[in-house]
């Protein structure tokens, strides 16, 4: 019996489109070759590629529990966007518990932190400028810093990599101002053959000693030719520079995280308040804001949709950790434990079972955080169907365009066609995100490497991105779509 042409087409379509087709379990040749040249065994990688709206395309070691480095920020920022909302903001407030008569405050000034991930020097200045604009000039009480919203877990800033003055090691704080950083600008002068060092902000508690010698030649590794001796404690710091500085380097800058949180905010407040014509001679201390205190001025943060751009585009660890803690707010404050619980509960509600997940601070700046390539891919697939997908995707670096991907794949066809979060630690490299292929289909791509030679993994990762972008549209995919239309 001859079947009508319509039924023949339908049967062929269903036959050629097996549900849940098995992904390839072998790395594409360009990727395998690049890994071999890098001295990285396949047993040290996790690779997962899944076409959105289709099946998994590639799965190699995808079930392995691996350290994702900064690719973990995808979990934190996606959770933040959904749990807090893209328009969420943090408000830092200045309050008083005393009378303000004419321009004199006969009481304490309280600064109450809300965990703002990006309370910059400029925004802090605006808060103080607002106080002056409201008529306050002289403060006769103390400056009381209310930093209670985040639990004080007091991590050693040098614990991670023995680099306590690097800004990325700055611990979270409910009243984090300017990332607790002092930025030094190196300005060479060819006429006098000297180099000036300018500190911003110029805090009296931070002493800068300049013993640099100016030399000729190409710039190259300007920091490598410089010896930096940092000493200090929570109350004061000394940064001494010796060695050489090449004229060819021009102006450069380097930031340092020094002083304790209370000391830094206090010193910065005193400096800016006096620059604004204010007077203050009281103590600087931590304390709770009285329930009866009234708000004098408020500075609002950027929206969360803007914050996550900085977190992911530039892999900002401090901002990521601030956001992570903000997910764990309870009546008694927030801690890494409450934040981790909040993220796990959110994942469970979304039907994302990730038994191997280990969260330490949500930023990936960790030796113990873990997730598999398959489950990080599952998070990205889930995000694609979320209302906050546009905000999350827009926060990821674009290949050859911006963020941590701006210098990669510039001459490749994939340039501008992939939104990829990168991750990098000693012994760890990762990429995770979305790739648009030549046929206009988008895929989730995750590639993680945990190996002593991981620093050589970039060519293999770039090869995978190009392979996903350039791979041919397969018959199964075409027939699957025909089948869907016929049904």
Q: What is the domain count for the chain?
A: 2
In a domain, 311, yes or no: yes
**Are 30 and 42 in the same domain?**
yes
Is residue 293 classed exposed, middle or buried when 0-12, 13-18 and 19+ CB atoms within 10 A define those classes? buried
SS3 assignment, position 118: coil
Strands 237-246 and 104-105: unpaired
What's residue 155's pLDDT? 72
Q: Is residue 73 within 8 Å of residue 312, measured between CB atoms?
A: yes
In a domain, 179, yes or no: yes
DSSP assigned state of 100: E
Mean pLDDT of the chain: 92
**Are 186 and 232 in the same domain?**
yes
In a domain, 480, yes or no: no
CA distances for 26 relative to 29, 218, 277, 454, angstroms: 9, 45, 68, 20
pTM over 0.85: yes
In a domain, 242, yes or no: yes
Q: Which domain does 54 fall in, by range?
A: 16-86+306-471
Q: Is residue 317 within 8 Å of residue 168, measured between CB atoms?
A: yes
Q: Is residue 251 within 8 Å of residue 280, measured between CB atoms?
A: no
Q: Is residue 457 within 8 Å of residue 431, measured between CB atoms?
A: no
In a domain, 264, yes or no: yes
Q: How far apart are CA 487 and CA 393, in angstroms?
A: 32
The CATH number assigned to the domain holding 60 equals: 3.40.710.10
**Are 315 and 223 in the same domain?**
no
**Are 353 and 276 in the same domain?**
no
Of the candidates 59, 57, 9, 47, the residue with the CA atom closest to the CA atom of residue 477 = 57
In a domain, 11, yes or no: no
Sign of CA dihedral 13, 19, 20, 21: negative
pLDDT < 70 regions, the chain: 1-20, 154, 473-487
- In this structure, the chain runs to a length of 487
Is residue 164 classed exposed, middle or buried when 0-12, 13-18 and 19+ CB atoms within 10 A define those classes? middle
**Are 164 and 286 in the same domain?**
yes
- Dihedral pair phi/psi, residue 306, rounded to 5°: -80, -40
Strands 442-450 and 45-51: antiparallel
Beta strands in 71-114 (DSSP E): 91-96, 100-101, 104-105, 109-112
Sign of CA dihedral 287, 290, 296, 301: positive
Chain-centre distance for alpha carbon 126: 25
Q: How far apart are CA 220 and CA 423, in angstroms?
A: 25
Given 264, 283, 301, which residue is the final one in a domain?
Answer: 301
Given 301, 318, 336, which residue is the final one in a domain?
Answer: 301
**Are 117 and 232 in the same domain?**
yes
In a domain, 7, yes or no: no
Strands 143-146 and 194-200: unpaired
The CATH number assigned to the domain holding 150 equals: 3.50.80.20
What's residue 151's pLDDT? 86
Q: How far apart are CA 404 and CA 422, in angstroms?
A: 7
**Are 218 and 321 in the same domain?**
no
**Are 26 and 146 in the same domain?**
no
In a domain, 220, yes or no: yes
Given 268, 301, 334, which residue is the final one in a domain?
Answer: 301
Q: How far apart are CA 356 and CA 373, in angstroms?
A: 11
What's residue 20's pLDDT? 58
**Are 268 and 337 in the same domain?**
no
What's residue 188's pLDDT? 96
**Are 28 and 174 in the same domain?**
no
Q: Is residue 103 within 8 Å of residue 133, measured between CB atoms?
A: no
**Are 71 and 110 in the same domain?**
no
**Are 371 and 464 in the same domain?**
yes
């Amino acid at each position: 019996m001859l079947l009508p042409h319509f039924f023949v087409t339908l049967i062929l379509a269903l036959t050629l489109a097996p549900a849940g087709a098995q992904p390839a379990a072998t790395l594409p040749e360009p990727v395998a070759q690049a890994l071999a040249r890098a001295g990285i065994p396949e047993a040290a990688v996790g690779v997962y590629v899944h076409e959105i709206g289709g099946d998994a395309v590639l799965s190699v070691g995808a079930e392995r529990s691996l350290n994702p480095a900064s690719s973990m920020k995808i979990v934190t920022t996606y959770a933040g966007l959904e749990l807090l909302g893209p328009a969420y903001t943090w408000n830092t407030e200045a309050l008083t518990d005393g009378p303000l008569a004419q321009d004199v405050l006969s009481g304490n000034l309280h600064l109450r932190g809300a965990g703002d991930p990006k309370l910059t020097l400029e925004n802090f200045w605006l808060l103080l400028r607002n106080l002056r604009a409201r008529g306050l000039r002289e403060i006769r009480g103390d400056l009381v810093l209310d930093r209670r919203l985040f639990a004080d877990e007091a991590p050693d800033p040098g614990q991670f990599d023995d680099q306590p003055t690097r800004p990325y090691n700055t611990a979270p704080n409910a009243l984090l101002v300017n990332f607790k950083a002092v930025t030094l600008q190196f300005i060479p002068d060819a006429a006098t053959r000297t180099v000036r060092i300018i500190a911003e902000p110029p805090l009296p508690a931070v002493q800068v000693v300049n013993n640099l010698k100016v030399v000729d030649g190409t710039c190259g590794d300007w920091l490598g030719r410089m010896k930096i001796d940092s000493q200090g404690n929570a109350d004061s710091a000394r940064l001494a520079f010796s060695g050489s500085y090449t004229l060819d380097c021009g102006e450069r800058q380097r930031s340092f995280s020094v002083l304790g949180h209370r000391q830094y905010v206090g010193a910065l407040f005193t400096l800016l308040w006096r620059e604004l014509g204010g007077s203050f001679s009281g103590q600087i201390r931590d304390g709770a804001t009285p329930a009866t205190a009234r708000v004098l001025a408020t500075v609002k943060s950027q929206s969360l949709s803007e914050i996550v751009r900085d977190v992911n585009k530039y892999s900002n660890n401090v901002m990521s950790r601030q956001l992570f803690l903000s997910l764990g707010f309870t009546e008694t404050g927030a801690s890494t434990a409450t934040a981790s619980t909040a993220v796990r509960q959110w994942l469970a509600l979304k039907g994302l079972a990730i038994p191997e997940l280990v969260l330490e601070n949500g930023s990936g700046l960790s030796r113990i955080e873990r997730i598999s390539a398959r489950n990080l891919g599952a998070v990205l697939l889930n995000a694609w169907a979320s209302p906050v997908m546009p905000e999350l995707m827009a926060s990821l670096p674009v290949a050859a365009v911006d963020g941590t991907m701006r210098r990669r794949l510039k001459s490749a066809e994939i340039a501008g066609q992939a939104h990829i979060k990168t991750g990098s630690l000693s012994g760890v490299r990762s990429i995770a995100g979305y790739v648009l292929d030549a046929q206009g289909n988008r895929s989730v791509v995750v590639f993680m490497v945990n190996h002593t030679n991981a620093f050589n993994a970039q060519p293999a990762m770039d090869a995978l991105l190009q392979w996903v972008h350039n791979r041919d549209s397969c018959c199964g995919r075409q027939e699957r779509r025909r089948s869907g239309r016929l049904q």
